């Protein structure tokens, strides 16, 4: 069955509330799966198979029952509303009919029906007056028709106006033909009135003539009804042009198929060439052999059963872990071969002699001509393989200098620059700089000029000092980076090259419900330009991060040292707390499950996902083809729980 848009919207709201009551939180994936089951009309078994990929077996069974109850309640409510609406429409129509019957009045055309009394004819029976009136009308119509026919006839021609005596017979024949036509017309009118004469007494009936019946004997021949002799029927002659054309084609069929003898005797005729004309293949029905579609249907049913069985085996293997064990068995080598072990026979010799060991080779094998042909003076070289692709940028190891070395290098660079400026001044390319006067060296630099006008010299020195200060601030402002440049510099400092490989770390946390800790993990991953995925599941929260080695060191310090997992900042420490609460707090910790290298990133950004079941959590990692991260972390959590219980 297929639901309408209105039903889908109503059921979506009801199912969302049901999921929220069942799981404790809203999950759009589960709502869409339940709505899809209802839309396709699945029974409970198919519904359990569909929900088994998201929920556990017990949860799927309970949730399927709740879905059936919700859908039954919705159907009953819709049916009740439809019944109520129909009843209201029926009552409204009954009231309208009553109002119309009250307002109805008799008009001139609508007169009340009179019930006939005793001795009176019924409404459907003709009275004598009515029959007489109908007879009079019929006679009147006959007289009018006779007058019209008489008016159409030409007036009689006198004998003195006849141009020739021999033409009188022709005119007489015309008059007789017209009279005969009038008699036939009158007979047709009488025949039409014969139906009326059967129901009306006193009206003369006209006998109708029809076709003579066809009588056949035992041999299928037509015979006369009176004499019993065989009658030869006239053959029907076709009148349509298409039928005449077809009959002519049948007559000249032999001439069309066989060419005339004159053509064969002609000098242009070659008997070696077939002279067959284009022959159109007659179209006919092509019936299929009996049982063909049954075989096709059987193959389809067998294929569907095989696919279903394979899916069930795959689901069972996923739950029991047989799939991963089978993959390991296929990858594992069948025989342990030592690096320095010498085989019984080399592969190139085995191709020549076709023996398992060198001892099995006899002298007759060496004397075979085929063996001698295969041995040549050529040397077989291995296939030349392309070298591995080199990195686009050469990796250069930076050189770090000490503080004393950096000062010395800076002093030497400044001396070189100052020498260049002095050379340009000495040559005359640059003007000599003004003396750098300060209030402290004023008297030593200016000498007698400072004594002559001290006020003027002081103002000049202070203006020169302000000019130098302004130039210094402008140079600093020009060298200062903008906001975008500072951000790019910081990103460039944090960002690392992961084109040749990505460092991956997998952490397992028992409890990650605190939003402050979630914010720390997310904000630090974004600040360090790392990607990854966080799955929130009961007693097994998995954090996967991808980045460079420096980024991994900083994030590892955050997860293992900076965040105090055993402490809950929301809870205040009281003396009345029980020992069980302290044990639960101390048991919460972060474990580094695995760290290593991967070829490329599996995630594009840092995301958090709440997963109600273990299978649903594994599906999230499977989308990025890294489900082994979850298997490793979840198996560690199970082993840790088993160790605590023991």
Q: What would the pLDDT profile of 615-638 be if each residue is shown by its tens digit? A: 999 999 999 999 999 999 999 888
The single residue listed with the structure tokens 């009804």 is 225
By DSSP bridging, strand 541-547 and strand 531-536 are antiparallel
Res 469: pLDDT: 94
Q: Do 134 and 141 touch, CB atoms closer than 8 A?
A: no
- Is the pLDDT at 586 greater than 60? The verdict is no
Mean local confidence (pLDDT), 296-324: 80
Stronger pLDDT, 286 or 352, i.e. the higher one: 286
Over the stretch 277-290, which tens digit does the pLDDT of each residue have? 677 777 888 888 88
Residue 83: count other Cβ atoms within 10 Å of its Cβ.
10
> Residue 189: which of 199, 197, 200 has the closest Cα?
197
Phi-psi label, residue 538: left if phi above 0, alpha if psi -120 to 50, beta otherwise: beta
Predicted confidence band of residue 314 (pLDDT cuts 50, 70, 90): confident
Q: Report the side by side order of strands in the sheet with 606-610.
A: 590-598, 502-509, 541-547, 531-536, 606-610
Q: How far is CA 304 from CA 37, 45, 488, in A?
A: 20, 17, 58
d(CA 317, CA 313) in angstroms, rounded, equals 6
Give the pLDDT confidence score for residue 169 in this predicted structure: 53
pLDDT top residue among 113 and 176: 176
Measured CA to CA, the distance from residue 48 to residue 58 in angstroms comes to 10
As a whole-number percent, the residues of the chain with pLDDT over 90 amount to: 28
129-157: per-residue pLDDT in tens? 777 787 788 788 888 877 877 666 555 54
Max avg pLDDT among 173-177, 443-447, 533-537: 533-537
Q: Please give the Cα distance from 156 to 150 (Å, whole number).
A: 12
Can you read off the two tokens belonging to residue 51?
A: 């929900």
- What local confidence, expressed as pLDDT, does residue 15 receive? 78
> What percent of the chain has a predicted confidence (pLDDT) above 70?
72
Q: Are 486 and 542 in contact (CB under 8 A)?
A: no
pLDDT(608) > 70? yes
Residue 308 has pLDDT above 70, yes or no: yes
Measured CA to CA, the distance from residue 596 to residue 121 in angstroms comes to: 114
407-432 pLDDT, tens digit per residue, is: 999 999 999 999 999 999 999 999 99
Q: Which residue pairs from 580-589 have beta carbons closer than 8 angstroms and sit at least 24 positions apart in sequence? A: 587/510, 587/644, 588/509, 588/510, 588/511, 589/509, 589/510, 589/565
The residue with greater pLDDT, 207 or 572, is 572
> What mean pLDDT value characterizes the chain?
77
Residue 239, pLDDT score: 65
Over residues 213-223, mean pLDDT: 72
d(CA 255, CA 262): 13
Q: Which residues are CB-neighbours of 371 under 8 A, at least 6 positions away?
A: 352, 353, 365
Tell me the average pLDDT across 517-542: 94
Q: Chain-centre distance of CA 498, in angstroms?
A: 35
- What mean pLDDT do residues 487-513 have? 92
DSSP state, residue 290? T
- Stretch 222-234: mean pLDDT, rounded? 71
Average pLDDT on 566-592 reads 65
Q: What integer pLDDT is reported at residue 328 of this predicted model?
A: 45
Compute the average pLDDT of residues 227-255: 69
pLDDT at position 590 over 50: yes
Of 33, 41, 610, which Cα lies nearest the Cα of 12?
33
* Confidence band of 224 (pLDDT split at 50, 70, 90): confident
C-alpha to C-alpha distance for 521 and 545, rounded to whole angstroms: 10
pLDDT over 60 at 122, yes or no: no
DSSP string covering 564-628? -TT--TTSPP-TT--HHHHHHHHH--EEEEEEEEESS-S-SSEEEEE-SSHHHHHHHHHTTT-HH
- Tokens (6 digits) for 486: 């500072």
CA 523/CA 504 separation, integer angstroms: 18
pLDDT for residue 375 is more than 80: no
pLDDT at 502 over 80: yes
- Alpha-carbon span 328 to 628, nearest angstrom: 13
Q: Among 326-330, 407-411, 531-535, which stretch is predicted with the lowest mean pLDDT?
A: 326-330
| Confidence label for 264 from pLDDT (cuts 50, 70 and 90) | very low
Q: pLDDT tier at 204 (50, 70, 90 boundaries)?
A: very low
Is the pLDDT at 606 greater than 90, yes or no?
yes
More confident position, 517 or 434: 517
Higher pLDDT, 552 or 66: 552
Mean pLDDT of the 34-45 span: 77
Task: Pick the range with the lowest mean pLDDT from 234-238, 340-344, 569-573, 596-600.
Answer: 569-573
Distance in Å from the first CA to the final CA of the chain:
53
């Amino acid at each position: 069955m297929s639901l309408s848009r209105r039903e889908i919207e109503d059921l979506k709201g009801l199912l969302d509330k049901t999921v929220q009551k069942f799981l404790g939180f809203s999950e759009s994936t589960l709502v869409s799966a339940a709505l899809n089951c209802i839309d396709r009309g699945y029974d409970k078994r198919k519904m359990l198979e569909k929900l088994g990929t998201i929920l556990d077996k017990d949860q799927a069974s309970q949730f399927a029952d709740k879905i059936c109850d919700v859908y039954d309640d919705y159907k009953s409510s819709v049916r009740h509303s439809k019944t109520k609406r129909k009843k209201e429409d029926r009552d409204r129509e009954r009231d309208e009919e009553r109002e119309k019957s009250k307002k109805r009045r008799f008009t001139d055309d609508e007169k009340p029906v009179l019930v006939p009394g005793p001795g009176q004819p019924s409404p459907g029976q003709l009275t004598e007056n009515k029959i007489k009136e109908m007879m009079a009308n019929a006679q009147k119509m006959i007289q009018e028709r006779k007058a019209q026919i008489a008016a159409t006839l030409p007036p009689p021609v006198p004998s003195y106006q006849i141009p020739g005596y021999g033409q009188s017979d022709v005119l007489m024949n015309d008059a007789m033909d017209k009279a005969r036509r009038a008699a036939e017309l009158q007979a047709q009118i009488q025949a039409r009135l014969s139906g009326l004469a059967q129901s009306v007494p006193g009206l003369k009936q006209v006998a109708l003539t029809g076709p003579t019946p066809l009588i056949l004997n035992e041999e299928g021949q037509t015979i006369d009804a009176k004499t019993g002799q065989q009658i030869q029927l006239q053959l029907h002659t076709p009148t349509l042009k298409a039928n005449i054309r077809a009959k002519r084609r049948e007559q000249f069929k032999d001439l069309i198929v066989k060419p005339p003898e004159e053509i064969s005797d002609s000098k242009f005729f070659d008997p070696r060439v077939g002279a067959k004309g284009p022959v159109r293949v007659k179209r006919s029905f092509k019936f299929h052999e009996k049982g063909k579609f049954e075989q096709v249907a059987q193959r389809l049913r067998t294929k569907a059963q095989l696919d279903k069985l394979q899916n069930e085996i795959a689901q069972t293997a996923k739950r029991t872990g047989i799939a991963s064990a089978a993959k390991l068995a296929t990858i594992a080598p069948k025989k342990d071969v030592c690096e320095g072990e010498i085989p019984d026979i080399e592969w190139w010799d085995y191709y020549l002699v076709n023996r398992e060991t060198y001892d099995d080779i006899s002298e007759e094998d060496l004397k075979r001509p085929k063996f001698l042909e295969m041995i040549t003076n050529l040397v077989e070289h291995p296939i030349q393989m392309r070298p591995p692709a080199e990195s686009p940028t050469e990796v250069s190891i930076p050189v770090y200098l000490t503080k004393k070395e950096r000062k010395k290098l800076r002093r030497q660079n400044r001396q070189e620059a100052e020498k260049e400026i002095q050379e340009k001044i000495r040559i005359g390319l640059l003007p000599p700089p003004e003396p750098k006067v300060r209030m402290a060296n004023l008297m030593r630099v200016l000498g007698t000029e400072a004594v002559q006008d001290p006020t003027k010299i002081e103002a000049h020195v202070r203006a020169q000092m302000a000019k130098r200060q302004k130039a210094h601030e402008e140079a600093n402002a020009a060298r200062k980076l903008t906001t975008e440049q500072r951000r790019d510099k910081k990103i460039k400092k944090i960002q690392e090259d992961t084109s040749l490989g990505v460092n991956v770390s997998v952490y397992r946390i028992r409890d990650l419900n605190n939003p402050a800790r979630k914010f720390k993990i997310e904000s630090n991953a974004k600040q360090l330009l790392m990607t990854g995925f966080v799955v929130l599941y009961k007693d097994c929260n998995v954090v996967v991060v991808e980045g460079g080695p420096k980024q991994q060191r900083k994030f590892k310090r955050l997860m293992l040292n900076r965040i105090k997992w055993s402490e809950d900042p929301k809870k205040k420490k009281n003396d009345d707390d029980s020992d069980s609460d302290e044990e639960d707090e101390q048991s919460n910790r972060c474990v580094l499950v695995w760290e290593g290298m991967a070829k490329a990133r599996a995630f594009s950004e840092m995301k958090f996902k709440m997963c109600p079941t273990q299978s649903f959590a594994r599906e999230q990692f499977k989308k990025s083809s890294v489900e082994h991260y979850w298997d490793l972390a979840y198996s560690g959590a199970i082993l840790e729980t088993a160790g605590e219980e023991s």
